[in-house]
Amino acid sequence: MSEFKRISPQQAQELRSKGAVVVDIRDPQSFANGHISGSRHLDNHSLHDFITQADLDAPLIVSCYHGNSSQGAAAYLVGQGFSEVYSLDGGFELWHATYPSETAQSSEE
């Protein structure tokens, strides 16, 4: 994949069930207040370590607030060598509305 793809929460849930990695690029407080279960908070401070430790061939789903900022982040991650990157349409807000039981609060998981 030379570019990222946009996917729905339903497609993201299917990929998650197959082991896709989910990263959340929202601010730390928003992440702490609620995020996709099992997701990792990604910001400028954690980005380098994430990239150096990640499996670049594993499917990667990028989540933000509403599905806009995640597109830029997904394009950046493709440029960093990730081969299968997805931007979550509707972001965490649509995910939470669709899968309320698949959300968590507090610290990173």
CA pair distance 49, 47, nearest whole angstrom: 6
From the candidates 15, 42, 62, 64, give the one annotated as an active-site residue: 64
> Is 108 labeled as catalytic in the residue annotation?
no
CA pair distance 83, 14, nearest whole angstrom: 18
CA pair distance 75, 8, nearest whole angstrom: 17
Q: From start to end of 1-108, where are the E strands?
A: 5-7, 21-24, 35-36, 40-41, 60-63, 85-88, 103-104
Positions annotated as catalytic residues are 64
